[in-house]
Amino acid sequence: MTPILQAVAPELLPFASQNIADAVESLNARSLDAATDIVAGLPLARVIDMFDRPELQRAGNLIARMPDARAAALLEGMADDRAADVLLELDEADRTRLSGRMRSGTLEALRQLMRYPPHTAGSLMTTEFVSVPADWTVAQTLAHIRDVERSRETVYAIYLLDPATHALVRTVSLRRLVAGEPDAPALSQAQRTEPVWVSASTDQEEVARLIRRHDLLAIPVLDEARHVLGVVTVDDVLDALIAEGTEDAHKFGGMQAIAQPYINTGFWAMIKKRAGWLCALFLGEMLTASAMQHFDDELAKAVVLTLFIPLIMSSGGNSGSQATSLLIRSLALGEVRLRDWWKVALRELPTGMLLGAMLGAIAIIRISIWQYGGIYDYGPHWVLLALTVAAALIGIVSFGSLTGSMLPFALQRLGFDPASASAPFVATLVDVTGLVIYFSIAAMILGGTLL
């Protein structure tokens, strides 16, 4: 048994000896009172490791219930990006009280981090990285890393700074440094190309894109003078990407994003997240009732027309949903840019027309079989009816593909997240126009016969 475990009460042993992820999960499953007692009984080093995990729930509550001295020591010991997040969970009074107990250096760094808006490089970054003057040798740099390793979130990328201006010159990886001759300059082991960097306001999706593109373990965040403000590590990006993926999936499903797991979300919280969009879409969809009221003469004359309304409308929504999911993703990954909208429009229009024609052909076949087979009698003008349905499908699927593909561009242009475009939203947009297209085509083809 390692020394750290000997001081722990037997009932707390699992929390002290499990791997951190399991210990955090077990703690999350306990009541707040039980969790408070467990945290009080564990060594500080272990508590720091647990609080460093973003998966730990109620971190703010737990800290507020600790003795002030221990809470302050915990915040000092935590990775500063996590400590800043936890401080933001506290109420104003607790935050002020604990701030008084902390070292001014740490406090200043945390205050700085708390200022950056969410979803930016600034809010994701840690200030606990390693930088050394660019004229140091490999041995000097390695000795420095040995000294500070414990207090740094990442040491795998080392930032070489101009000795006079402290501006970033080059990045060197720990692996290249370890492989270097001790007396060689650290700079000789550095990458030859300009370091890739971001600014504090860069969006996290762009940070993720750059880290992926250049296979980095960390990316430096620079200010205008090229000073290193902090670094964003690949594990923070991974977490941010997963959270953003969930957010986008919920939005595309037509609801507000939910950050907590499904099972942990309360009944009323769930209703709140879903009701807003559902009601908004319902109000939008009411226009279909208005459109149909407008055509009620036609409907009364030719009930047979109504049989195909759901079929035609859903095809428009489906093709729109396809196009929207394609373009949201392409815009998010930077494969397509705002200025490419017309190229996409020129692609989607013929695509939609062809897809609509395919569905139209199927519809004609279906109506013919039912008519000839005696399954249903569409009346004496059934050929014209079949043509109406097919023509409407071409029009509506083209319109759906075009609307669905342009919506993410329009949202981005207006400053919204393109991922706010949802399948139900597109379907609603297309439904009303779809009805108008259907009845207009019906009036043209069936005018004088059925209508």
Residues in region 20-79 near a copy of itself by CB under 8 A: 20-21, 53, 55
| DSSP code for 196 | P
| Residue with Cβ nearer a copy of itself (359 or 387) | 359
Backbone phi, psi, residue 381, to 5°: -100, 30
| Binds a copy of itself by CB under 8 A, chosen from 120, 126, 288, 398 | 288
| Residue with Cβ nearer a copy of itself (94 or 348) | 348
**Stretch binding a copy of itself (CB under 8 A), from 80-88, 101-109, 131-139, 349-357:** 349-357
| Binds a copy of itself by CB under 8 A, chosen from 116, 159, 277, 382 | 277
Within positions 178 to 207, which residues make up the interface with a copy of itself, using CB under 8 A? 178-179, 192-194, 196
| DSSP code for 333 | T
> For residue 159, what are the β-bridge partners?
131, 171
**Alpha carbons 15 and 64: distance in angstroms, whole number:** 21
Residues 6+ apart with CB under 8 A from 428: 281, 284, 285
Minimum distance from residue 62 beta carbon to a copy of itself (Å) = 20
| Residue with Cβ nearer a copy of itself (155 or 160) | 155
Within positions 116 to 175, which residues make up the interface with a copy of itself, using CB under 8 A? 142, 145-146, 149-150, 155-156, 174-175
Residue 427: CB atoms within 10 Å = 24
Token pair listed for 332: 């998010």
Element (H, E) at 305: helix 303-306
Answer yes or no whether residue 412 interacts with a copy of itself by CB under 8 A. no
Strands (E), 89-147: 130-133
Element (H, E) at 170: strand 168-173
**Alpha carbons 48 and 78: distance in angstroms, whole number:** 6
| Binds a copy of itself by CB under 8 A, chosen from 103, 111, 214, 413 | 214
Residue for token pair 């993703």: 329
Minimum distance from residue 267 beta carbon to a copy of itself (Å) = 7
Within positions 246 to 275, which residues make up the interface with a copy of itself, using CB under 8 A? 246, 248-250, 252-255, 258, 261-263, 267, 270-271, 274-275
| Residue with Cβ nearer a copy of itself (55 or 203) | 55
| Binds a copy of itself by CB under 8 A, chosen from 7, 9, 29, 333 | 333
**Stretch binding a copy of itself (CB under 8 A), from 29-37, 40-48, 117-125, 176-184:** 176-184
| Residue with Cβ nearer a copy of itself (248 or 417) | 248
Element (H, E) at 168: strand 168-173
| Residue with Cβ nearer a copy of itself (9 or 270) | 270
Contact predicate 85/78, CB 8 Å: no
Minimum distance from residue 436 beta carbon to a copy of itself (Å) = 12
Minimum distance from residue 65 beta carbon to a copy of itself (Å) = 26
C-alpha closest to that of 56 among 72, 76, 38: 38
Backbone phi, psi, residue 198, to 5°: -135, 170
**Stretch binding a copy of itself (CB under 8 A), from 64-72, 119-127, 160-168, 289-297:** 289-297
**Alpha carbons 189 and 140: distance in angstroms, whole number:** 13
Within positions 415 to 444, which residues make up the interface with a copy of itself, using CB under 8 A? 422-424, 427-428, 431, 435
**Alpha carbons 328 and 209: distance in angstroms, whole number:** 15
